[in-house]
Amino acid sequence: MMADWLVRLEIQALFDAYCDCLDNDRLEEWPGFFVADCLYEIIPKENVDAGLPAPLIHCDNQRMLHDRVVSLRNANIFSPVLYRHFLSAIIWQRDAADLVVRSNYLVVNTSPLGESSVYQTGRYEDRLTATDSGWRFKSRRVVYDTARVQTLLAIPI
């Protein structure tokens, strides 16, 4: 039973590090949270509920995540929007050696003019796999509730 609590704490530590990386503008470290053969998707809840698989963003390996960061760095030269991620309701179970995890997220952003507001909420649907460096994302699906979501130039969620 103790082992289960440790797993919960390990998931928390991974999620803490992930949010810390994105929210403090160290995007270059972001692909390192995923394994090479990974899946990262951003998809509206509306589509998931309707059984439409079409995601807004679909990266099916770690190289695509690297490319995305490079594009963002080239595009957002001035005053990028700032994110702060907040999580809740972390639920997990084992699936063979992997962990299947879901959680709520809230992203509050602050514009270059200093206005902070709710940017989006949604649910993470994750599969974690054990590596020599600890748990990493085999897949992370970001299912967002909010309609107004910028996709081209947005920092990853």
Residue 61: closest CA among 30, 28, 18, 31: 31
Q: What is the token pair recorded at 14?
A: 């991974």
Of positions 51, 133, 148, 151, contacts a copy of itself by CB under 8 A: 148
Q: Which of these ranges, 8-16, 34-42, 69-77, 130-138, lies near a copy of itself under the rule CB under 8 A?
A: 8-16
Instruction: Write down the least CB distance from residue 36 to a copy of itself, Å.
Output: 25
131 binds a copy of itself (CB under 8 A): no
Does the protein bind a copy of itself through residue 86 (CB under 8 A)? yes
From CA 124, how far away is CA 33, in angstroms rounded?
Answer: 14
x/- contact string, 27-66, with a copy of itself (CB under 8 A)?
------------------x---------------------
Shortest Å, Cβ 83 to a copy of itself? 9
In the chain, the N- to C-terminal Cα span, in Å, equals 32
Helix then strand then coil, % of the chain, to nearest 5: 30, 45, 25
Whether 106 contacts 142, CB under 8 Å: no
Q: Is 123 in the site for a copy of itself (CB under 8 A)?
A: yes
Q: Which of 91, 102, 107 is CA-nearest to residue 157?
A: 107
Q: Residue numbers of the site for a copy of itself (CB under 8 A)?
A: 5-6, 8-9, 12-13, 16-17, 19-20, 23-24, 45, 82, 84-91, 102, 104, 106, 108, 110, 113-123, 145-148
